[in-house]
Amino acid sequence: MEDRKILKSGEFLVSETDPKDVFIPEEFNEEQQMIAQSCRDFLGAEVYPNMTELEKGNRELMKSILKKSGELGLLGISVPEEYGGFGQSFVTQMLVAETTGAGSSFSVAYMAHCGIGTMPIVYYGSKDQRERYVTKLTTGELLGAYCLTEPGAGSDANSGKTNAKLSEDGKHYILNGQKMWITNAGFADTQVVFAKIDNDRVLSAFIVESSLPGVVIGPDEHKMGIKGSSTAQIYYNDVKVPVENLLGKRGEGFRIALSILHLGRIKLGANVLGAAKKAVNDSVKYANERKQFGVLISSFGAIKHKLAEQVIRLFASESAVYRVSRDIDDLMVKMKVDCGDTGRGAIEAISHYAVEAAILKVVGSEMLDFISDEAVQIHGGMGYSAEMDVERGYRDARINKIFEGTNEINRLLVVDTALKRAMKGDFDLFGKAEALYADLGKISPEMIDGADYFTEKSKFVDNLKKVIMICLYGAVKKYPGSLTNDQEVMNNIAEMMMEVYLSESLCLRIFKMESLGKGGPVYRDILDVNIYDTADKIRKSASDAVWSFAPAAEASPVIRAIEALSRVRGVNVKGARRRIAEKLIAENLYKF
C-alpha cells in the first residue's frame, strides 16, 4: 500500500484531501474492466432475455440464473480464495455491484445472496462454518438469505421477538418466531437469522438451513417493483438449530446486523449506479429517435436540461462511491493485521465508514429515483407503458429509499455518527467549529480573483464545510445531549453534509482526471453546475436550521456568515448543461 492519508469516517468535514489520494473510475485496470464486462455479458445472455418471465415471479428461473452466475464465478468476487472465491479488492467488489445494478430484479437477488446472504458467515463465521457453507454459497450450490426484519421490528431491529432456547441436551437451539420482507426467501438454502437467546437484551445470529423441520416459507409478496425477486415471510416453529450454527458469539447478533447494514448501504450506493446508467442510456436513445414538431426531441432545450442533470447527479455519486471504496481497501489491510482474522478485519474496515455508508445510500437512492423519474418523463406517454424498460426501472428504483434502513434513518445516522466520532476524538470538529462561531462577525463575502480554477473550487467547498460546522456547533449548543430529538434540524445538517461530500468528491475526481490527461471542458461544466447548485442548497438548509434553533437576535449574525460563506462565482448554467447534454446526445450513450 502506497503512503497516503486515509481519512477517518466523517473527517472530510474538517480535513482537506489531496486529489492524488483518491481513487477514480478512470483508473480501473484491465482485470477490473474484464470482470465488469463479464457481468455485462452475463446480464445480456441470461437476464435480459428472461426479464418478462422473471417479472412474473418465477422463483425457479431466478434460482437457475443465480446458479449459472455461480458456475461462472460471479458469486465469489468478495469471498477469500481459501473458500473458493476470488478475494477481489473492495473497489472491484463495488464495480461488480455497479455493473450488476443494471439487472433489475436479478440485481436484488444477486446482491442479497453475495452480500447479506454470504458475507456474515465470511466475516463472523468459524473456520468450520466457512468451510461448510461459504464454499458452497460461492459456487451457487447453496443460495443465501438474510433474516432480520420482523412485523413489529423494522428500523428498531433489536426489538424483534424471534426467540431461541437451548435444548435440554444442549445440542440445539429451539427457534420460534417470524421474519418478513426476506429477499430470496422462496429458494434460499441457508438463512442468517437473528433471534434473542432466552431473555437476552440483544440479538444473537444463527445459520439456519431452510430444509430444517419447522421452517415454513410463505408465498411471495406482491410488490410495486422488483417483481422478479422472491420476497416472502418465513416462520420458525420449534426449529432445532445445531449449537455449532450459532454465528459469532452469543449476544453479538446486533453488532453483526449493524455491520452488515453498513456493507449493504455502501454497496447499494454502487448498485444504483448501474441502474442509473441504464436509465440515462434509455433516455438519450429515445430522445435521439423521437420526433415532435418535425425535429428530434433531443434538440429541445428542456430535454437537454433533463439529460444534463441526469449526468451531473450520476457522475457526482459515482465519484463519491469510488472515493470511499479506496479508503476501505487501504484500511482493510491494516485491520486484517490488527484483528488477526481476515473476515473480521474486513468488516471492521467497512463498518468504520458508517458516515459515508449512510451518505452513499441516501444520495445514491435519491439520485436513481430522480433519474428514473426523468427517464419516464423524457419518454412521455411511452414511458408509462410496460413495453419500455424505463417503466420497470421507475418502479424498481423506489425500493432503494427503503432498503438497508430508510433514508430517514440514514439521514439521522449521518449527523449522529459524525458527532459521536468527533466526540471520541477521531477528528477535531468542535474546536474548529467553536472558533468559527466565535468569529462570526469577521466573516465577509470572499472571492478569489486570479486564482487557478481548482484553487477557487476547493475554496468554495471549504467555505461550505464551514457553514456546516457553524450550524453543527450552534445546534449542539442549543440542544446539548438531545439534538437527536430535533430531527428536522438533523435533516438540515445531513443534507449539507451529503451535498458537500458529493461536491468535494467530484472536485477531487475532475482535478485528478486533468492531472492524468483524461479531463476536458465538459467535466468542468459538470463541476461548475454542481458547485453553483450545492451552494444554493447549503444556504437554504443552513438558514432553515439556524432559524429553527436560534432566536432572531442570535440568528441574524449567523445568517450573515452563512450567506457570505455560501457565495460562489456565477455560472451560465444553461450553456454548461447544454454542452454536457450535447456530448451525451452525440455519443448516444453515457460515456462520462
Which cell numbers hold the place of 241?
Answer: 438449530
HSE-CB of 345 using CA atoms within 13 angstroms: 15
C-alpha dihedral over 62, 363, 392, 304, to 10 degrees?
A: -140
What is the rounded distance in angstroms from the CA atom of residue 304 to the CA atom of residue 439?
A: 44
> Catalytic: which of 404, 495, 499, 504?
404
295 strand-pairing partners? 292
Cβ neighbour number for residue 51 with a 10 Å cutoff: 16
Spacing of C-alpha 561 from chain mean position: 33
Kindly provide the residue ranges of all beta strands, DSSP E only, lying in 219-270, ordered along the sequence. 231-242, 246-247
What is the rounded distance in angstroms from the CA atom of residue 291 to the CA atom of residue 571?
A: 31
Q: Are 188 and 198 in contact (CB under 8 A)?
A: no
Which cell numbers hold the place of 549?
Answer: 434553533
The amino acid present at 375, given as its one-letter code, is A
Q: Is 404 part of the annotated catalytic residue set?
A: yes
- Provide DSSP, 441-477: GG------TT--HHHHHHHHHHHHHHHHHHHHHHHHH
C-alpha dihedral over 370, 327, 536, 496, to 10 degrees?
A: 90
174 strand-pairing partners? 165, 240
First-to-final CA distance of the chain: 28
What is the rounded distance in angstroms from the CA atom of residue 305 to the CA atom of residue 283?
A: 12
Q: Which residues are catalytic?
A: 404
